[in-house]
Amino acid sequence: MEPLQVIAAPRRMRILELVWDRELAAGDIAAEFDVSWSAVSQHLTVLKKAGFLVERREGTSRFYRADKEALGPLRAVVEDHWRTSLLRIKHLAEEEECSK
Amino acid sequence: MEPLQVIAAPRRMRILELVWDRELAAGDIAAEFDVSWSAVSQHLTVLKKAGFLVERREGTSRFYRADKEALGPLRAVVEDHWRTSLLRIKHLAEEEECSK
DNA sequence: TCCTTATTTTAGATGCAGCTAAATTAAGAT
DNA sequence: ATCTTAATTTAGCTGCATCTAAAATAAGGA
Q: B100 to chain A, minimum CA–CA distance in Å?
A: 31
CATH classification of the domain holding B34: 1.10.10.10
User: What is the span of the domain harbouring residue B64?
Assistant: 3-98
Q: DSSP alpha helices (H): ranges in A1-99?
A: 3-8, 10-18, 26-30, 37-49, 74-98
Interhelix angle A10-18/A37-49, nearest 10 degrees: 80
What tens digit of pLDDT does each residue of B22-52 get? 999 999 999 999 999 999 999 999 999 999 9
Nearest chain B residue to A13, by CA: B4
Percent of chain B with pLDDT over 90: 80
Average per-residue pLDDT in chain A? 90
Residue B99's pLDDT band, with cuts at 50, 70 and 90, is very low
- At position A41, the amino acid (one-letter code) is S
Which one-letter DSSP state was computed for residue B2? -
Q: Can you give the distance from the CA of residue A38 to the C1' of nucleotide D18 in angstroms?
A: 11
Give the minimum alpha-carbon distance from B96 to chain A in angstroms, rounded to a whole number.
Answer: 25
Q: For chain D, which bases have at least one atom within 7 A of a protein Cβ?
A: 5-11, 17-23, 26-28
Which pairs count as long-range contacts for A41-45, CB under 8 Å and 24+ apart, including other chains? A43/A9, A43/A11, A43/A12, A43/A15, A44/A15
As for how many domains chain A has, the answer is: 1
CB B19 under 7 Å to nucleic chain D: no
Give the CA distances from residue B68 to residues B36, B37, B54, B79, in Å, rounded to whole numbers and listed in that order: 26, 24, 10, 10
- Hey, are the CB atoms on B77 and A80 less than 8 Å from each other? no
